[in-house]
Amino acid sequence: MLMDMKVTDFLAELGSSSPAPGGGSISALAGALGGALAAMVCRLTVGNDKYAEVQSEVAAIRDQADQIVKELAGCVDADTEAFNQVMAAYKLPKATESDKAERSKAIQQAMRHATELPLGVATSCLKILSMAVRALAIGNSNAASDAAVAGLMAHAGLHGALYNVKINLSSIKDQDIQKDIQAKVAALVKEDEGLHKQLLEIAGKVIG
Ligand SMILES: Nc1nc(=O)c2c([nH]1)NC[C@@H]1CN(c3ccc(C(=O)N[C@@H](CCC(=O)O)C(=O)O)cc3)C=[N+]21
């Protein structure tokens, strides 16, 4: 399991010529790092009398962030596994017509999963970005830079995950699925754009 590795070992594995983990897993990890950092900012806010009036909202953000961090952490290993399945499907035999039909079906199934998984990662990253913006706006101002970094990690994770979605999408033959996913990608990019802009504006005002 990638997530059980020591950070230094993980980095060595990542930098090695072995193809996994790749950009999909790293996008999920970026989102998880952002989420955990946002949760930290919440914990530095809840219980502080100076922020008494935002206690319940920040506590709710903390709990949601904790949940999404768990999901994204699971996606780090799941994404690598999903792309390994794609590569395994390409290696299936293609000697006979029935081999070819089975192989094609396996590729399409694996590709769909390897596309929907990072789409879910991007959706989770958007939620983390939105929480980081809120934590930056109303949370402990001593941790403003932490909230800003949380948002940047989520923004990177979102776009990274979407690159994985897009690179796989052209291999999906079902046009209805392609169109549906394209629309979801466009909606995520648009929402990210607005939140990322807010993040930079607030960070500029609060931090400089
Ligand atoms: N959900 C998702 N996660 C990904 O991580 C993901 C993805 N989708 N879509 C595409 C990119 C690209 N990527 C590669 C992984 C291994 C090789 C790789 O091992 N290539 C070897 C061949 C390996 C073989 O044939 O066994 C080579 O080019 O020499 C290449 C590319 C993962 N990606």
> In a structure prediction context, what are the per-residue pLDDT tens digits for the chain, which is 208 residues long?
999 999 999 999 999 998 779 999 999 999 999 999 999 999 999 999 999 999 999 999 999 999 999 999 999 999 999 999 999 999 999 999 999 999 999 999 999 999 999 999 999 999 999 999 999 999 999 999 999 999 999 999 999 999 999 999 999 999 999 999 999 999 999 999 999 999 999 999 999 9
Q: Tell me if ipTM is over 0.85.
A: yes
Residue 2 lies in a domain: no
Residue 117 CB less than 6 A away from ligand 1: yes
Q: What is the pLDDT of residue 18?
A: 87
* Residue 13, domain member (yes or no): no
* CB distance 118 to ligand 1 below 6 Å: yes
Q: With respect to residue 163, please indicate whether it lies within any of the assigned structural domains.
A: yes
Which residue puts its alpha carbon closest to atom 12 of ligand 1? 22
59 occurs within a structural domain: yes
What is the domain extent for residue 128? 19-206
Which ligand 1 atom minimizes the distance to the CA of 23? Answer: 5
Residue 193 domain flag: yes
Nearest-CA residue for ligand 1 atom 27 is 19
5 within domain boundaries: no
Ligand 1 centroid–CA 83 distance in Å is: 7
Tell me, using a 6 A CB cutoff, whether residue 21 lines ligand 1: no
The CATH number linked to 93 is 1.20.120.680
| Global confidence as pTM | 0.96
Concatenate the DSSP letters of all residues of the chain into one string: -GGGS-HHHHHHHHHSSS--S-HHHHHHHHHHHHHHHHHHHHHTTTT-GGGGGGHHHHHHHHHHHHHHHHHHHHHHHHHHHHHHHHHHHHTS--SSHHHHHHHHHHHHHHHHHHHHHHHHHHHHHHHHHHHHHHHHHHS-GGGHHHHHHHHHHHHHHHHHHHHHHHHHHTT---HHHHHHHHHHHHHHHHHHHHHHHHHHHHHHHHT-
